[in-house]
Chain A
Amino acid sequence: QSALTQPASVSGSPGQSITISCTGTSSDVGGYNYVSWYQQHPGKAPKLMIYEVSNRPSGVSNRFSGSKSGNTASLTISGLQAEDEADYYCQSYDRSLTGWVFGRGTKLTVL
């Protein structure tokens, strides 16, 4: 399975906004609005942050938002906080897998 393409790392200062991109193909990201984003702190299980491209689960801060254009989905975190420092993974349904593919993960550093 070919992983979705994410930047290896991004960084920002507290209070700033950052955006993490997730690029796939028309077989996955571009073909469906079934993109999710997960946050993973070291030694912890992933946590759902965004589903169906732009929906936030109950309890997730509205500082987290998602969008999609063509074959690229994006996660934006506004008002960066120290607790946002973590790895972030996108995920999309992939019709060639009849399953899901993850991105390669982006390490967010809050300076």
Chain B
Amino acid sequence: EVQLVQSGAEVKKPGESLKISCKGSGYRFTSYWIGWVRQMPGKDLEWLGIIYSGDSETRYSPSFQGQVTMSVDKSINTVYLQWHSLQASHTAIYYCARLMAPGAYFSGWYDYWGQGTLVTVST
């Protein structure tokens, strides 16, 4: 059974750093891209970017380039999303999702989703 299990909720102060995780199981981890999606409170879904678990190739949304960093640790089937300096506007639920792409990456769709990680940034 394919599963993506994300790390737990975080409460941070502005300026702090944070790294959240997404662990994949039940499939060949290194053969898939993993995407990250943000959902601010009561708001819509926004695509942050994707990372290829096999070689760490990344593609970021222009809106989030420079704000977040994606990485992968193949040895433990885990991808990460990191902030170096959090702001209140980063408060949101962050989802990871597996990209199913039989052809080029952009032809794919997100078939399995993690449960989401709530990040709260507040003084």
Q: Footprint of B on A, CB under 8 Å? A: 1, 3, 32, 34, 36, 38, 40, 45-48, 51-52, 57, 89, 91, 93, 95, 97-105
Q: Number of residue pairs across A and B with beta carbons under 8 Å?
A: 71
Q: Taking A97-B62, A99-B61, A102-B47 as contacts, is the C-beta distance between A45 and B113 under 8 angstroms?
A: yes
- Not counting A45-B113, A47-B113, A51-B100, a sample of 9 additional A-B residue pairs whose C-beta atoms are within 8 angstroms of each other reads A1-B63, A32-B106, A32-B107, A34-B106, A38-B110, A46-B110, A97-B47, A102-B44, A103-B44
A100 vs B37: C-alpha distance in the bound complex, in angstroms? 10
A1 touches B47 (CB 8 A): yes
Contact of A105 among B44, B106, B109 (CB under 8 A): B44
> From residue B35, how far is it (CB to closest CB) to chain A in Å?
8
Q: Is B111 an interface residue (CB 8 A)?
A: yes
Closest to B4 in A: A45
> From residue A38, how far is it (CB to closest CB) to chain B in Å?
8
> From residue A84, how far is it (CB to closest CB) to chain B in Å?
19
B110 touches A45 (CB 8 A): no
The interface on chain B, measured as residues whose beta carbon lies within 8 A of the other chain's beta carbons, has a size of 26
Main secondary structure of the interface of B (DSSP, over half): strand
Q: Is B49 an interface residue (CB 8 A)?
A: yes
Contact of A102 among B45, B63, B115 (CB under 8 A): B45
Q: Taking A1-B61, A97-B61 as contacts, is the C-beta distance between A48 and B109 under 8 angstroms?
A: yes
Rank and list the top 3 A-B pairs by shortest CB-CB distance, nearest first. A51-B109, A45-B113, A36-B109
Chain A residues with Cβ under 8 A from B108's Cβ?
Answer: 34
Closest to B108 in A: A34
A49 vs B115: C-alpha distance in the bound complex, in angstroms? 17
A103 vs B46: C-alpha distance in the bound complex, in angstroms? 9
